[in-house]
Amino acid sequence: MSTVQTNTVSNELLATMNPAKKSAQSTADAAQDRFMTLLVTQMKNQDPLNPLDNAQVTSQLAQLSTVTGIDKLNATLTTLMGSYQSAESLQAANMIGHSVLAPGSQTTLAGGSALMGIDLSRAADSVKLTVYDSSGKAVHTVDLGKQQAGVQPLQWDGKTDGGAAAADGKYTFKVTATSNGESVDVTALTLGQVGSVSTGSGGVKLNVTNVGTVSMADVRQIL
């Protein structure tokens, strides 16, 4: 009958092969432990005739409390940022398939209609829109008159200045605005459809046709 030999493994070898796991300790906690160790040692060895100054000890404790507070605040902010990004991702996903107005100067003419928009920093008494074809030639110019501050969707019927119907396709446009003869800041807005959502180190991004990749903050209006 065969026998199986067993070798006794020493506890020292087992300890070496399987070191005990140390509990994770934050930087602030480690600094607090070192400070308290030094403070207790200093108090134990202080000169009875020249004891530690209470004001200095209080100041050191206050500094330690500040460091601990900052560490906890950072941890809280990290958690909040994670929650915010998750909520923003869900919100962005719900926008897939929707048309939006975002900064851009391109529009598409199809079936005698092209949509675009403007974002005025303040009310203007004169707003002019100029549409250009692919060669850079102005094909349509119109004075939109007075416009209120904020986002205003615009529609072009595809007619040129000569009254002819422009060919379907991509066009660019430019907008200028004035109030009492002074220039008013205005942002041209392109209409596009949200096709997908991207997430990464730069945050949540929307991939919009005719516009490209934009952030949630770039969206001026959802149509």
> For residue 70, what pLDDT is reported?
72
Q: What is the mean pLDDT of residues 150-177?
A: 94
Q: What are phi and psi of 17, to 5 degrees?
A: -75, -25
What 3-state class would DSSP assign to 9?
coil
What 3-state class would DSSP assign to 18?
coil
- Specify the higher pLDDT residue, 54 or 149: 149
Does 74 have pLDDT greater than 90?
no
What whole-number percentage of the chain has pLDDT above 70? 72
Write down all domains in the chain, each with its CATH number in brackets.
100-190 (2.60.40.4070)
- How far apart, in whole angstroms, are the C-alpha atoms of residue 221 and residue 152? 9
DSSP, residue by residue, 89-140: HHHHHTTTT-EEEEE--EEEEBTTBEEEEEEESS-EEEEEEEEE-TTS-EEE
DSSP type of residue 3? -
> For residue 203, what pLDDT is reported?
78
List, for residues 98-149, the tens digit of each pLDDT value: 999 999 999 999 988 999 999 999 999 999 999 999 999 999 999 999 999 9
pLDDT band at residue 15 using 50, 70 and 90 as cut-offs: low
- How far apart, in whole angstroms, are the C-alpha atoms of residue 153 and residue 115? 7
> For residue 16, what pLDDT is reported?
55
